[in-house]
């Protein structure tokens, strides 16, 4: 074989060995990259599965939070509606109590006017009876001296007729007043049955002196705390006049009684005067 042929054979062997080494290295690198790729795929699949699980859990928690928020919103609205109903009921009860107190004040005032009217009618009747007796005396004197006092007798008879007319008028007025009194007694009994305040508590109060401990104007028309209670003879329905020195400030009515103190509702005030702590109070001025 010629030298050139041998050279080509050697070159072919070298090239073949080089190619074989290169192919071996590439195959090894390919197997390495393939293993890394498969490991990455497995890791990615595990990461994806964990992420999907966490996402599902978070979605479940978010839904639960939404449900809880909706439940709280419903409960809040229900509480607001209940508070609104309670407020309306409370205002209705306050209005009813104010109306009943106003009715009681009006009946008490009417009773006072009735007593004054009865006294006036009785005074008028007594005066008319006295006039009648005086007229009768004049008539008797005129009859005993009829021959000398015809004119006097006529005047006495006229005076007696007027007195008898006044007596009849007064008796009719008294009858009407009695009927009116019976009607007022019926109204008062109805109010007493509704409020629990007796007529004796309204018309005859013992003398009780007290002092204002505290005032509260947040509830109209205002509340007053006094330093006397059931131990001092105070009963529900008693009225106290409030004053400071020579200044009259108003009147309160007892609504709640404890052994050593009571709470009263302000029923009358004086313009320019405010009932305050330290003011004096009495059942009789």
* Mean pLDDT taken over the chain: 81
At which residue do the structure tokens 């007022």 appear? 184
Q: Which residues contact residue 98 at a Cβ distance below 8 angstroms, ignoring those fewer than 6 apart?
A: 221
The structural domains of the chain, with segments of one domain joined by +, span 102-195, 205-282
Q: What integer pLDDT is reported at residue 195 of this predicted model?
A: 42
What is the pLDDT at residue 148? 75
CA distances from 281 to 222, 233, 240, 276 (A): 16, 15, 6, 11
Poorest-pLDDT segment among 29-33, 53-57, 190-194, 209-213: 190-194
Q: Considering only 174-178, 214-218, 235-239, 264-268, which range has the smallest mean pLDDT?
A: 174-178
Residue 178: the pLDDT is 56
Query: Higher-confidence residue: 152 or 216?
Result: 216
Please report which helix (H) or strand (E) contains residue 62, including its range.
helix 3-144
Per 3-state DSSP, the chain is made up of helix, strand and coil in percentages (nearest 5) of: 70, 15, 15
Report the pLDDT value the prediction gives residue 240, as an integer from 0 to 100: 97
> Is residue 196 left, alpha or beta, with left meaning phi > 0 and alpha meaning psi from -120 to 50?
left
With cut-offs at 50, 70 and 90, classify the pLDDT of residue 202. low
What per-residue confidence (pLDDT) applies to 186?
A: 62
Q: How confident is the model at residue 156 (pLDDT cuts 50, 70, 90)?
A: low
The yes-or-no verdict on residue 131 having pLDDT over 90 is: no
pLDDT digits (tens, 9 = 90+) for 245-276: 999 999 999 999 999 999 999 999 999 999 99
153 band by pLDDT with thresholds 50, 70 and 90: confident
How far is residue 285's CA from residue 239's CA, in Å, rounded to a whole number? 11
Higher pLDDT, 2 or 189: 2
Q: How far apart are CA 197 and CA 191, in angstroms?
A: 8
| pTM for this model (two decimals) | 0.33
At 233, is the pLDDT very low, low, confident or very high (cuts 50, 70, 90)? very high
205-282 architecture in CATH?
Beta Barrel (2.40)
């Amino acid at each position: 074989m010629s030298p050139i042929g041998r050279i080509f054979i050697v070159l072919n062997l070298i090239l073949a060995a080089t190619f074989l080494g290169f192919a071996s290295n590439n195959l090894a690198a390919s197997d390495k990259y393939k293993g890394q790729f498969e490991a990455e795929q497995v890791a990615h699949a595990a990461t994806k599965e964990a992420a999907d699980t966490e996402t599902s859990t978070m979605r479940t928690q978010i839904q639960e939070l939404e449900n809880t928020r909706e439940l709280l919103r419903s409960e809040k609205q229900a509480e607001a509606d209940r508070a609104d109903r309670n407020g309306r009921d409370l205002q209705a009860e306050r209005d009813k109590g104010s109306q009943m107190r106003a009715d009681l004040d009006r009946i008490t005032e009417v009773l006072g006017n009735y007593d004054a009217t009865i006294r006036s009618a009785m005074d008028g009747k007594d005066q008319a009876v006295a006039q009648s007796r005086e007229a009768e005396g004049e008539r008797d004197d005129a009859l005993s001296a009829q021959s000398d006092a015809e004119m006097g007798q006529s005047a006495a008879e006229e005076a007696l007729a007027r007195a008898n007319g006044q007596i009849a008028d007064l008796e009719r007025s008294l009858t009407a007043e009695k009927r009116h009194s019976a009607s007022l007694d019926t109204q008062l009994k109805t109010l007493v049955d509704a409020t629990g305040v007796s007529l004796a508590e309204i018309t005859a109060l013992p003398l009780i002196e007290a002092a204002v401990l505290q005032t509260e104007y947040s509830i109209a028309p205002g509340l007053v705390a006094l330093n006397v209670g059931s131990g001092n003879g105070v009963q529900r329905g008693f009225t106290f006049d409030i004053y400071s020195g020579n200044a009259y400030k108003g009147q309160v009515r007892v609504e709640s009684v404890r052994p050593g103190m009571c709470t009263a509702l302000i029923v009358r005030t004086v313009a320019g005067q405010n009932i305050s702590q330290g003011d004096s109070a009495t059942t009789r001025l």
